[in-house]
Amino acid sequence: MGDVKNTSSKTPDIKERFKPNREFYFWLFICALVLMLLCLDISEENGQMFTIATGLSCGCVASVLVAWLIDEANCKRDAQEADNNYRIIFKRLYFVFDADLQIIIHDTAQFIRDDTPRKWHDWIVCAYHQIEKDPSVIPAYNQYLMQFLDAIAEQVIMILGQEAVLLQMGVICEKDIQALRGILSYCELSRTVFRSKSTEEFVSKRFQTNLSLMRATIAYSPSLRPINDILIEPTLYRLALEADQEAEEQIKASENSTSTPSIVCSESEPTRESKV
């Protein structure tokens, strides 16, 4: 529905979780290399011992290099697979922060008369500035925000349902799990407040607090952190502007088409009088 900027460049670096122990291989290679050099110092007069020692030492060096290269290739493959799984699993959650905020973004952009892309929480801040100036929008905004939080909760529950598998695959880490549970608790708390008999103003303030806490929790999670950096376009607002511009152009065109015949008649009138 909306247009999200910089999603591909802002995804977490999954490769960092699949690095081989390069330091271990480096020192193992150095030891094998030193062993090989020591073996080369064996007197060639003892031909059999020299051959065995150099063969073993060269074999150690080659084995270390081969093992290192194999481990690098395996880590690269696992990282690519984990990155693909991450994009599939978190794609919908990213989309929620765009599509399910578009109505509020539309009203807010219309209020401030600005279609500059903003981060999701910046749009929320703009919405609450509008609420301060026009409290009549509070009930509608509470409804929109509850729908937004419910959509987030739905996606978080789906991700947590695969917690064990995702942890084993390296797609997410423990910090991600903790952050997801925190986000879910904020959504559930918001739902409880929304269903209570509290005033609309109280519900609005609790929503504002929970959304701020959610932003901080997202920043704590390596996998979710890029969500806070996504720039969200006010797509609905821009579509409305385009529709208004097209309507104005059609009105101007129709006015021009209706004014043209009267000009022709006024020019032809003297010609009729001259004939008479």
Window from 59-73, 97-111, 157-171, 194-208 with minimum mean pLDDT: 59-73
Give Cα 220 to chain centroid, integer Å: 15
208 pLDDT tier (thresholds 50, 70, 90): very high
**pLDDT tens-digit map of 47-73:** 666 666 667 777 787 888 888 888 888
Window from 91-100, 216-225, 263-272 with minimum mean pLDDT: 263-272
**pLDDT tens-digit map of 132-166:** 999 999 999 999 999 999 999 999 999 999 888 88
What is the pLDDT, as a whole number, of residue 90? 84
What is the pLDDT, as a whole number, of residue 217? 95
DSSP H helices, 100-199, are 102-112, 120-133, 138-160, 163-169, 174-195
Residue 171 and residue 164: Cα distance in Å, rounded?
10
**Quick check: helix, strand or coil at residue 275?**
helix
Residue 181 and residue 104: Cα distance in Å, rounded?
26
**pLDDT tens-digit map of 173-187:** 899 999 999 999 999
**Encoded tokens for 274:** 């001259």
Q: If residue 232 lies in a helix (H) or strand (E), which one and from where to where?
A: strand 231-232
Residue 218 and residue 97: Cα distance in Å, rounded?
12
pLDDT over 90 for what percent of the chain?
37
Q: Give pTM, 2 decimals.
A: 0.69
